[in-house]
């Protein structure tokens, strides 16, 4: 079975500061990795995904994530956040068909 842990349920950060949202997973098989974002009153949308190849993945809105197989982590980073980045962020893994989501991290950007 697979599981996803997002250690920080809430992350407040000042505008233009860097941010890292942590994600760890457990799986006995190889998985695909994803970050989805849910803006207030909107549906989830894909930020980025790791399938294979380079461990540094770039996504939309200036976000990037790094896959670390030895640490089973897939942390999300942005060097400078904007007010508009305030949202709920979900890390997810997929072994082959279903997608398993973490509990989410609420990012609040403070002006």
Partner 1 sequence: GAGVSQSPRYKVAKRGQDVALRCDPISGHVSLFWYQQALGQGPEFLTYFQNEAQLDKSGLPSDRFFAERPEGSVSTLKIQRTQQEDSAVYLCASSLGSRSYNEQFFGPGTRLTVL
Q: Which residues bind partner 1 (CB under 8 A)?
A: 4, 32, 36, 42-46, 49, 51, 90, 92, 94-104
For residue 38, the minimal CB distance to partner 1 (Å) is 8
CB-nearer residue toward partner 1: 4 or 21? 4
For residue 18, the minimal CB distance to partner 1 (Å) is 24
Length of the chain: 111
Query: Could you give the maximum distance between any two Cα atoms of the chain, in Å?
Result: 42
CB-nearer residue toward partner 1: 70 or 97? 97
For residue 93, the minimal CB distance to partner 1 (Å) is 9
Q: Which residues contact 106 (CB under 8 A, 6 or more apart)?
A: 9, 10, 11, 87, 88, 89
């Amino acid at each position: 079975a697979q599981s996803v842990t997002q250690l920080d349920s809430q992350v407040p950060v000042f505008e233009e500061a860097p941010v890292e949202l942590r994600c760890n997973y457990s799986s006995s098989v190889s998985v695909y990795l994803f970050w989805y974002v849910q803006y207030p009153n909107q549906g989830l949308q894909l930020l980025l995904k790791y399938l294979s190849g380079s461990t540094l993945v770039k996504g939309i809105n200036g976000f990037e994530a790094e896959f670390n197989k030895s640490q089973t982590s897939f942390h999300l980073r942005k060097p400078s956040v904007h007010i508009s980045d305030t949202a709920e962020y979900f890390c997810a893994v997929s072994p082959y068909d279903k997608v398993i989501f973490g509990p989410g991290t609420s990012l609040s950007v403070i002006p």
